[in-house]
Structure 1
């Protein structure tokens, strides 16, 4: 029997990981004056409000958490579905 993946735990872990990644990268870019600005500009077109500023980093972190949680839940659900 295949092991099951807990959907809530996977969603929470993926959301935290992606949200913190976007938050820290935005804060580092704001503090250094442009580090990884191309990355932030690219993801700023996907995450409305994500910019290399303190507020933009917070917005990116929140939206990244939501996006990561949804992706993690879908991944865990698909894993459980196909591992039957």
Structure 2
């Protein structure tokens, strides 16, 4: 079975971007929510930090979307390479 690289990339990008968006927005409403998680993400994505406002949440979402798409494409590509290698 072959994975469609772009489909997996878009799926992971949407899920990861959505997770960052949702967590960031909830953190703006309840400042204690997800702070440790958002601080880890902020250490990876430049310009993103918890409680920084809607602009930083959107920036983190864009980073996460791109990160998920690139990661998903790489995972699908690697899976397809290894699946061909180990198929009978």
TM-score by length of 1: 0.91
Deviations 1:8-35 (A, max 9, x none): 1001101111011011100000111221
Residues of 2 paired with 1:55 and 1:34: CA distance? 19
Q: How far apart are residue 43 of structure 1 and its match?
A: 1.0
Corresponding residue for residue 27 of structure 1: 25
- Size of the aligned set, in residue pairs, is 82
Larger Rg: 2
Q: Which moved more, 1:53-62 or 1:65-74?
A: 53-62
**Which runs of 5 or more structure 1 residues have no equivalent in the other structure?**
none
Residues of 2 paired with 1:6 and 1:22: CA distance? 24
Matches within 5 A, 1:27-46: 27-46=25-44
Residues of 1 paired with 2:48 and 2:28: CA distance? 11
For the pair 1:15 / 2:13, whether they are aligned, the reply is yes
Residues of 2 paired with 1:44 and 1:34: CA distance? 15
For the pair 1:57 / 2:57, whether they are aligned, the reply is yes
**Which runs of 5 or more structure 2 residues have no equivalent in the other structure?**
none
Task: After the TM superposition, list the runs of 4 or more consecutive aligned residues in structure 1 that deviate by more than 4 angstroms.
Answer: none
Over aligned residues, Cα RMSD in angstroms? 0.9
